[in-house]
Chains A and B, each alone.
Chain A
Amino acid sequence: MVDSTAPGTTLAPAVSGPLAVRLRRAGELSREVLRNPTTFLGLIIIVGLITMAALAPVLTEPNTPDAYQMPRDWGAINEPPGTPGHIFGTTSTGGDVFYGVVWGARTSLRMSMIVVGFTVVFGTAMGSIAGFVGGRVDEIIMRIVDVLLAIPELIFALAIAAVLGPSFANIIFALSVVFWVKYARIIRGQIIHVKQNDYVDSARVVGDSKFNIYRKDVLPNSVTPVVVQATLDMGGIVLVGATLSFIGLAEAGLAEWGVLVSEGQAGISSGRWWASTIPGAMVFLWALAFNLLGDGLRDVLDPRTGGR
């Protein structure tokens, strides 16, 4: 037999290990993602926000006993931005807006990571069972999903949070209940599609177990849209969370952007714009950054949108 690799084909030279190959591929992908300037901008903003959240105790003196509560300086009420010690100004209750912005980034990061983490895992699990097992199980799970999808996200989360009482933990719980449905639906559709590929049948012919087929063939080829959706949701969840805390479903005084916007809104009419506009801008920045990154990822990872 003759090796049919003709000279001139652009294949990487010689033998390299599996790890090197995978790293090289990851490198290629990330380079491709970052080639798009808006995606790159999104990533820069995200890195900035996360750094800020990580350095919160360095940037500000943590409040005691609970750092996530706004410190109150009753001696400095309604100070405008630029005041020494209160670079972004203070609220009508003497809260330092800069402190709120910095620790609010932590709150937001915590919220979006918990909610996205839980919903991705739970939603993927439910969607996988529905799509992979099929039949009656699929029928039942998808009907539940249909019902949940028929209720507007925000209103449903609002209802749950309202029933459970105002607390930040309840907001996280409410968002988790709402957001998994999307993932279940996405992954189910993907799995049903991927299952039809011959490589799944190839694995069956080889005699591999169902779980292995799911783990090696079906899931890895189905997760891409979930990754994209999760990135978008990292932004979206903060948006919804801020909305819920804005209307008072979080504890008062929490260092959270929505709460701060809510606290400062009364002052806007009398010219004290900073107390609500600056935290509001943070919410905007956060959501924008993740949307930019998510769109960039979609263009590269999901061939159906014509990115490749």
Chain B
Amino acid sequence: MTAVRDEPLAPEPGVDSAPVITVRGVRKYFPIREGVLQKVVGHVRAVDGVSFEIPRGETLGLVGESGCGKTTLGRCIAGLTDATDGGIYFRLAESDRLFLDEMDAVPEAERTLQHQARIEAIDLAHRIDRMKGDSWRSYRRNCQFVFQDAFSSLNPRQLVKDIVGRPLKVYKEASGPELTDRVVDLLQSVGMGRQHLYRYPHEFSGGQRQRISIARALALEPEFIVLDEPTSALDVSVQSQILNLLHELQQERGLTYLFITHDLGVVRLMSDDIVVMYLGEVMERATASELFAAPRHPYTEALLAANPDLLEGDEEAEMRGLEGTVPDPARPPQGCRFHTRCPAAIPQCGWEVDDAVAWLADNSTTLDELSGVERASEFDAAVRFRDSDAAAEAKALLEGPEVSAPMQGALLALSASGAELRIQFTEVDPVELEDVGEGHLTSCILHTSRSTHL
């Protein structure tokens, strides 16, 4: 490839072993505004407390269905939007990470000045939303992004040479004939060539456009690339070309990837580690082989069952899907967020008043008579109807045989007095990710230490 460039930031000691990206408790909330005054009435919790590291030269697969927050998280990591809370760190050394973990346990008021100074120093040097000047520039050129839609990610008014050469121009790395040569080198490294220099994006097929996108991402010789569903818009035969190319590039250049996708086959093929997300939270995290061989979360199992391997099993093998729809991310379920659709749910999963109300809405007409809900908590509320018959009917229904056993098991009390129905569920703590052996993390209480108390 091209000549060695001067590294703008001298690598610190220990940097080689440090993970390229460390994500610590990242949240991203989008405000929901309503009315003329655009008052904030709630938040969509797109990403809600996600942590992981991506070691150098490895690929982390981020899997989940649409709306699970994987793309938002990818955009936060690439610095395209700022996280609402938590931090994304670049080349955070092990010792610093341990220190930050330690500090998380200490309330802010009890931290000494020394502690605060060290946190500040770490933030300024590594945390991407606090970086300034040279460190930010260094991150900017070391972290690149490849978008899903190769049609919208290339400026239709620019020639390929301008598109691929743009990063080099921005950082004043090359100009004139040298720029052209560098661009040709880049195009060749993605399987294209000099003949494509002076063409517009619309003259290319989807696969070629994605190659151009990749060439642009490689221009600054970054360490890390966020790949946001880079092949999901492509045909199978082209997809395999691009996946092979990405793998080759990783081998040649020691790249680190964050591979965002909904396709389990692709993520298994491309990733070392896999993080499974649902409704903004991490459900499970494990190495690729471990996750596919022994999934420890019903959601992962459901994903695997819904998308069986092409060559495995026979044609008649059942393809199982999931009931229901993804809940509203502005009001995520209590306990485990997946419990509303989980085929393995038990009473301790976090059943709440909303679940009972949603069930009534789907299975009866009693809610047509609803006049109000008064909540003491998410687990305890008085549902008021317009007449006592509706309240009695709703009570009978909720006690009836049609309600799922786990939800009924979680019901603490159900009492109708007049037109009011009080619904009480057993309160449940939020679930947390737990290591269940060799770095295999899951949040499902059937598999974590909580399972012994069930």
A residues adjacent to B (C-beta < 8 A):
1-5, 11-12, 14-18, 20-21, 25, 197-199, 201-208, 212, 216-217, 220-221
Contacts and interface: CB of A to CB of B under 8 A. Distances in A.
B416 interface: no
Contact of B198 (A2, A15, A199, A204): A15
B425 to A, nearest CB: 42
Contact of B145 (A2, A15, A201): A201
B159 A207 contact: no
A180 to B, nearest CB: 25
B170 A207 contact: yes
B211 to A, nearest CB: 8
Interface stretch (B188-196, B289-297, B353-361): B188-196
B399 interface: no
Nearest to B225: A205
Contact of B166 (A2, A17, A206): A206
Contacts, number: 96
A203 B248 contact: no
Given A16-B198, A206-B140, 19 more contacts: A4-B205, A4-B207, A5-B196, A15-B194, A15-B198, A17-B198, A18-B159, A21-B159, A21-B200, A201-B147, A202-B145, A202-B155, A205-B78, A205-B80, A206-B216, A207-B167, A216-B158, A220-B157, A221-B155
Contacts of A11: 199, 203
B191 A3 contact: yes
Nearest to B149: A198
A204 B79 CA distance: 9
User: Most chain-A Cβ atoms within 10 A of its Cβ — which of B149, B152, B248?
Assistant: B152
Nearest to B169: A208
A15 B153 contact: no
Nearest to A14: B195
B404 interface: no
Contacts of B254: none
A180 B436 CA distance: 66
Interface string B102-138: 0000000000000000000000000000000000010
Contacts of A207: 137, 140-141, 167, 170-171
Contact of B199 (A2, A21, A208): A21
Contact of A206 (B152, B167, B200): B167
B372 to A, nearest CB: 36
B198 A202 contact: no
B208 interface: yes
Nearest to B151: A198
Contacts of A217: 155
A198 B209 CA distance: 13
A1 B157 contact: no
A4 B152 contact: no
Given A1-B248, A207-B171, A216-B158, A202 B153 contact: yes
A236 to B, nearest CB: 28
13 contacts: A1-B248, A4-B191, A5-B192, A15-B195, A25-B200, A197-B153, A198-B153, A199-B153, A201-B147, A202-B145, A202-B154, A204-B80, A205-B143
A2 B237 CA distance: 13
B144 interface: yes
A3 B191 CA distance: 5
Central interface residue in A198, A201, A216, by most chain B CB within 10 Å: A198
Contacts of A216: 155, 158
Contacts of A12: 199
A24 to B, nearest CB: 10
B42 interface: no
Contacts of B75: 201
B229 to A, nearest CB: 12
A3 B188 CA distance: 9
Interface string B40-60: 000000000000000000000
Contacts of B143: 205
Contact of A4 (B195, B203, B208): B208
A5 B198 contact: no
A18 B198 contact: yes
A208 B80 contact: no
Contacts of B161: 18
B153 A3 contact: no
Contacts of A15: 194-195, 197-198
Contacts of A197: 152-153
Contacts of B144: 205-206
A199 B152 contact: yes
Contacts of A1: 190-191, 245, 248
B265 interface: no
A208 B166 contact: yes
A12 B199 CA distance: 9
| A-B interface, 5 closest residue pairs, ranked by CB to CB distance from nearest | A1-B191, A198-B153, A207-B140, A198-B147, A199-B155
Nearest to A212: B170
A19 B248 CA distance: 35
B156 interface: yes
Contacts of A202: 145, 147, 153-155, 213, 216
Contacts of B197: 15
Nearest to A199: B155
A303 to B, nearest CB: 11
A201 to B, nearest CB: 6
A39 to B, nearest CB: 23
B137 A221 contact: no
Interface in B79-119: 79-80
A203 B207 contact: no
Interface in B374-405: none
Interface string B289-326: 00000000000000000000000000000000000000
Contacts of B211: 4
Nearest to B207: A4
A198 B220 CA distance: 19
Given A207-B137, A208-B166, A3 B193 contact: yes
Contacts of A18: 159, 161, 198
B134 to A, nearest CB: 12
A14 B197 CA distance: 10
Contacts of A21: 159, 198-200
B453 to A, nearest CB: 47
